[in-house]
A and B are shown apart, each in its own frame.
Chain A
Amino acid sequence: MIKPLQYMGQGLFYALFFGVIGYFSTWPTYTYLQPDETLIKLSFGHAGQLKEACRERTPEELAKLPMYQRKVTTICPSRERADVVVELEMDGKQLYHVVLPPTGFAHSGTSNIYRRIPVKAGVHTLKARLKDHIGEEFNFMHEETVHLVPGRIMVIDFKSATGGFIFKNKNTTQG
């Protein structure tokens, strides 16, 4: 083959090689959230209640113990914690339900959640419930009507010390 043709061939090869690289380094664009969708993220850790409550030792029990052990006046039969159950309802329909076991070998750690839920944007009534004991009833509940803007991630946090659920990064609250 004569030289100029070879150079043209090489140019073509390089153009193709780096054309493919240039193209696939950015395109095609990937869309994973429609323009009318947004995300709710549940993200928190919470320690469930102990499965069996600790109790005070009775004076008789204390009396039976050797002196050096009498300082500890509570006894805890087990350090095992109850599962934490979380539920999320949107406009009366259940969005999510999860049972979170405690972490750790002794099942004595916190229960952690991280969950991403895509939802339609717009005005919604969200109800979050949580139960952290072995009984039936949900002992934490929060309901709020929120305006979810497309793409804006609403975060649901939970802090038992401040009363439970906190809806963060929502756009506006009504009611």
Chain B
Amino acid sequence: MTTSSSTESLARRTLLRFEGALNKIFGNDLNPFYHLGALGFFFFWVVTVSGLYIYVFYDTGVEDAFASVEYLTHEQRYLGGIMRSLHRYASDALVVVMLLHLLREFILGRYRGARWFAWFTGVPLIWLLLAAGINGYWMVWDKLAQYSAVTIIEWFDWLPIFSVPMAGYFISAETLDNRFFTLMSFFHVTVPLFILFLFWVHIMRISYPVVNPKRGLALGMLLAMLVLSLVSPALSQGPADLGIEPGSVGVDWFYLFVSPLLDKWSAGQVWALVGGITLLLGVLPWLPHRFRQIPIAEVSLKNCNGCRRCVADCPYEAVVMRPRSDGLHFAEEAVVTPDRCVSCGICAGACPSSTPFRSEADYVSGIEMPSLPMHGLRAAMTADLAKLQGDVRVMVFGCDNAADIGKLRSAGVAVMSLPCTAMLPPSFIEYALHERQVDGVFITGCRESDCYHRMGGVWTAQRLAREREPRLRGRVELGRIRQYWASSADFSGLASELESFRASLRNGRLT
């Protein structure tokens, strides 16, 4: 067990503070920063639907392309124009949420160890998305398209791919043929399809991925996008004319920033930048750092009855059920996929064999964290509880990724920090409360909807509400249990909540 580091980065503190403010405004379940990946999916679908509509009216051809988009924008302002605006703004929003998502996962450190997979598969998404957007801007074939196409193609000419410079084809309308437009519209369908495929790969190793934002958030985003589309509809910037250099263009900085950059830097330098960013992001999960993952979950077949609870609760698809291999009369057994396990311990919290009401001192659960075995936790807890003094003794369970509960320790308060709060089997709560070892149990962990291990908060709340296995037993008095979710930025709130809990226990006992 580690306690959360006191040298927490400024970026992390700032992020937590900002998200705390958003929680006040949106509530945790609608906080956009907790749903950046899901918002990415949402904007992708808006882009798809609006794109399909535009596609119906799009003509390929040096002259026809521009004219068909103009028709849509002006003759059909009420629908086509809005669809075009939604298509543009949702694409822009997609870049914004993707970058925020990347930044957030980075700041929270959720890209190392077994999590490398989502991170690594996210990297090509950045470039594919930018490519699709740039491609989209070319489809319009206005002055901006011309500027972007010529600069980008000059940039690609730097690579030793083509022996004849491709930019030469963009010298005049005569050298540019309609096949260019056919090719563009082909790519504008296939690249997004490939992106969708990569989305799927991206979340392949995540259980219960959140791919749809809550309705309130989606509606808010859609409404705001509609307002923007009406106030500032997407417009073209005059037809392209390869004989005239526009000289000055309104740039979509989310997608087209490369072109102005190419004006300041050489093609080689910009390629070096792109290559450098890709390489850096690509190897980031393997760069040296202080983070050490504790040994991964281990199954003890003798203690596994094949109940599937660990499979249901693992947030990273790291446990699977296989046919029984040891001759016991159960149909299945749990098997851990080593390179997927992030060592959160949630599976151990789910396993019925983890219960501390077992007689052996060195009992083993069906699935456990080898460095934090259940019998060890029971022994540590029992020892701590024996030392508690005073009239209101409380056991606090928390997690290593949220508020530092070590600071809550006092004569009447014992604490136990786990890799994830959901590593705690509810039976441990019953155990602490039985025979009045303590007067109350206080449960904390990452902020609601923001569990570092994704599902820990939800599973814990559901287990305590007796909605999910392993359920808290019915005989436990709910008044003796309190949940309060707090990140490292919410320590003072956590401390006062604990005090109020103790006060209520004290009053309850006095009456």
B154 in contact with A116 (CB, 8 Å):
yes
Please tell me if the beta carbons of B248 and A32 are within 8 angstroms of each other in the complex. yes
Is B26 in contact with chain A by the CB < 8 A criterion? yes
Q: Which one of A28, A30, A41 has the greatest number of beta carbons of chain B within 10 Å?
A: A30
Chain A residues with Cβ under 8 A from B24's Cβ?
Answer: 1, 6, 9
Q: Are B168 and A25 in contact (CB under 8 A)?
A: no
A93 and B171 CA atoms in complex are apart in Å by 25
Given A10-B25, A151-B247: A25 and B163 interface contact (C-beta under 8 Å): no
- Which of B22, B248, B263 is in CB contact (< 8 Å) with A29? B248
| Interface-lining segment among B85-93, B329-337, B383-391 | B85-93
Decide if A94 is an interface residue (CB 8 Å cutoff): no
Whether the pair B89, A21 counts as a contact (CB closer than 8 A) is yes
Contact digits for B470-506, partner A, Cβ 8 Å, 1 yes 0 no:
0000000000000000000000000000000000000
With beta carbons under 8 angstroms apart, the residue of A21, A32, A44 that contacts B93 is A21
B234 and chain A: residue at smallest CB distance:
A25
Which of B205-213, B250-258, B303-311, B343-351 forms part of the interface with chain A? B250-258
Of A21, A110, A112, most buried by chain B (CB within 10 Å of CB) is A21
How far apart sit A34 and B245, CA to CA, in the bound complex (Å)?
11
Question: Which of A12-20, A61-69, A136-144 faces chain B?
Answer: A12-20
Number of A residues whose C-beta is below 8 Å from B? 46
Q: Which of B225, B247, B249, B252 has the most CB of A within 10 A?
A: B247
CA distance A168 to B227 in the complex (A): 47
Q: Residues of A contacting B254 with CB < 8 Å?
A: 21, 24-25
**CB proximity to A under 8 Å, residues B122-150:** none
Question: Distance in Å from the Cβ of B104 to the closest Cβ of chain A?
Answer: 15
The answer on a CB contact under 8 Å between B171 and A41 is yes
Distance between A152 CB and nearest chain B CB, rounded to angstroms? 6
Q: How far is the CA of A1 from the CA of B251 in the complex (A)?
A: 40
B6 at the binding interface (Cβ < 8 Å):
no
Question: Is B244 a contact of A17 with CB atoms below 8 Å?
Answer: no
B231 contacts A by Cβ under 8 Å: yes
Which residues, 222 to 243 on B, are CB-close (under 8 Å) to A?
Answer: 223-225, 227-228, 231-232, 234, 242-243
Q: Is B96 a contact partner of A21 (Cβ separation < 8 A)?
A: yes
Whether A169 pairs with B165 at a CB distance below 8 angstroms is no
Encode contact with A along B168-212: 1 for CB under 8 Å, 0 otherwise: 100110000000000000000000000000000000000000000
Shortest beta-carbon distance, A33 to chain B, in Å? 4
Say yes or no for A155: interface residue by CB 8 A criterion. Answer: yes
**CB of B157 closer than 8 Å to a CB of A:** yes
Are B228 and A21 within 8 A (Cβ)?
yes
Question: Is A26 positioned at the interface, with any CB of B under 8 Å from its CB?
Answer: yes
Shortest CB distance A65–B (Å)? 35
B312 to chain A, nearest CB (A): 34
Q: Which of A112-149 contact B (CB under 8 A)?
A: 112-114, 116
Given A9-B24, A25-B88, A114-B168, are A104 and B247 also a contact pair (CB < 8 Å)?
A: no
What 0/1 pattern do residues 153 to 172 of B give for CB contact below 8 A with A? 01001000001110110011
A18 touches B250 (CB 8 A): no
Q: Pick the contact of A14 from B92, B220, B247, B251 — CB < 8 Å?
A: B220
Q: Are B26 and A33 in contact (CB under 8 A)?
A: no
A73 within 8 A of B: no
| Chain A min CB distance to B497 (Å) | 18
CB distance from A62 to the nearest CB of B (A): 37
Encode contact with A along B74-97: 1 for CB under 8 Å, 0 otherwise. 000000000000001100110010
B260 proximity list for chain A (CB < 8 A): 30, 32
Contact indicator A26/B32 (Cβ below 8 Å): no
Contacts of A44 in B (CB 8 A): 168
Cβ–Cβ < 8 Å partners of B381 in chain A: none
Question: Taking the complex as formed, is B16 at the interface, i.e. its CB lies under 8 A from any CB of chain A?
Answer: no
A29 adjacent to B224 (CB under 8 Å): no
Question: Which residue of A has the minimal Cβ distance to B247?
Answer: A33
Leading 5 A-B pairs by shortest Cβ distance: A9-B25, A33-B247, A114-B165, A14-B224, A26-B250
Further pairs besides A17-B224, A18-B93, A27-B250: 4, Cβ < 8 Å: A1-B25, A13-B25, A43-B167, A112-B168
The residues of B with any CB-CB pair to A shorter than 8 Å are: 22, 24-27, 32, 88-89, 92-93, 96, 154, 157, 163-165, 167-168, 171-172, 220-221, 223-225, 227-228, 231-232, 234, 242-254, 259-260, 263
10 A-B pairs with CB atoms under 8 Å apart are: A6-B26, A10-B220, A13-B25, A17-B32, A24-B252, A26-B250, A104-B163, A151-B245, A152-B243, A155-B172
